[in-house]
Chains A and B, each alone.
Chain A
Amino acid sequence: QKEVEQDPGPLSVPEGAIVSLNCTYSNSAFQYFMWYRQYSRKGPELLMYTYSSGNKEDGRFTAQVDKSSKYISLFIRDSQPSDSATYLCAMKGTGNQFYFGTGTSLTVIP
């Protein structure tokens, strides 16, 4: 079983839609949870991070962590064509190693 599971999609939505991206994980020791965005042929860039459980909002983006269910989500409101990218979840426990999901490909159609 993989440490982190993420639906690869692809996901296609119309401009202005609310997008929900999700990951599940198996290691209860994970404490730090991150979302990265990766444009085609580029390196990933950090969008948001959350420590432990709860919600975090940054502009149109909201990250949620439910440690009891081992489930994290990223919501994108009022999605824009510029949001078209692959979104990677990542998580980490007390060690130095990050564990990434396989990524979900998102296309926002104008």
Chain B
Amino acid sequence: DAGITQSPRYKITETGRQVTLMCHQTWSHSYMFWYRQDLGHGLRLIYYSAAADITDKGEVPDGYVVSRSKTENFPLTLESATRSQTSVYFCASSWTSDGTDTQYFGPGTRLTVL
């Protein structure tokens, strides 16, 4: 199916565990983004990628690692999960990074860290 998908949709883990959230898009978009959404903070950018093997930090990168070996995939890893990382995580993609191009968002992953 065309579009942007995220997996898993729901995840419960414990503090200290490593967790990887997957993001896959079928449009061959150059740019991909990871956001977290929390009450009172809105959407905050964690990392973004301009192309395969090119990534850069966003507003809140600490505790997260990303990679992009293929254009269509952009996994986000929490190396040692903490309770403060309990959030809803959204992946997005677009052709460009400027505001003239739509950012297409995935359905989100609800992560709970106990």
Contacts and interface: CB of A to CB of B under 8 A. Distances in A.
Interface stretch (B65-73, B78-86, B93-101): B93-101
B105 A101 contact: no
B77 to A, nearest CB: 21
Nearest to A96: B97
A60 interface: no
Question: Looking at A33, A51, A100, which has the most chain B CB atoms within 10 Å of its CB?
Answer: A100
19 contacts: A4-B42, A31-B99, A32-B98, A34-B99, A41-B107, A43-B92, A43-B106, A43-B108, A46-B102, A46-B103, A49-B99, A90-B99, A96-B48, A96-B50, A97-B48, A98-B45, A98-B103, A100-B42, A100-B43
Interface of A: 4, 6, 8, 31-34, 41-46, 49, 51, 88, 90-92, 96-103
B42 A101 contact: yes
The DSSP consensus for interface residues of chain A is strand
Given A96-B56, A100-B42, A42 B98 contact: no
